[in-house]
Amino acid sequence: MQDGDVTAARHMRELDRTEALRLVATVSLGRIVFTQHALPAVRPVNHLVEGEDIIVRIHDDGALTSLMAPADVTGVVVAYEADAIDPVTHLGWSVVVTGYARPVADADEAARFASMLRPWAGRPTARALRIRPALVTGFRLEAERTLPETAARG
């Protein structure tokens, strides 16, 4: 495939859970999908991966504060999507994690996570949200591998 050739043969390969979470850990930006006022909402956020959990920073007055479930519940169902897809070739990968989001309750741990995640705006906060994956799906868009014409004939 040549640069810019988006019509070359390609295929989509499913990723297993381990590979999908490993890929999410290689990027720092994703999108969280949640419910706001009974409607779907999406926000871009920075993240880090700890074990299988995805950690995002939240601000006290931001839309994601609606995800602050009481301590006695499992959490709020969210989806989290991260990807790395080349805008020219359209090759790369995409992963969606669906699971339960809960605030990081331990203040020291939340402050540690918040210090590791660069905020979008200059609002200081020491709050973090942990997404525990229940379902992890992903795929990689790959170019078909073909032998050069001379090698195929020989």
Residue carrying structure tokens 């504060």: 65
Q: What are the CA-CA distances from residue 12 to residues 39, 94, 138 (Å)?
A: 31, 11, 10
Q: Which domains does the chain have, with CATH numbers?
A: 10-143 (2.30.110.10)
- From first to last of the 154 residues of the chain, give the pLDDT tens digit: 444 545 568 889 999 999 999 999 999 999 999 888 888 889 898 999 999 999 988 765 555 555 555 556 667 889 999 999 999 999 999 999 999 998 888 888 887 887 788 766 666 666 788 999 999 999 999 998 765 655 555 4
Alpha-carbon distance of 31 to 144, in angstroms, equals: 29
- The pTM of the full predicted model, rounded to 2 decimals, is 0.80
DSSP for 17-40 reads HHHHHHHHTT-SEEEEEEEETTEE
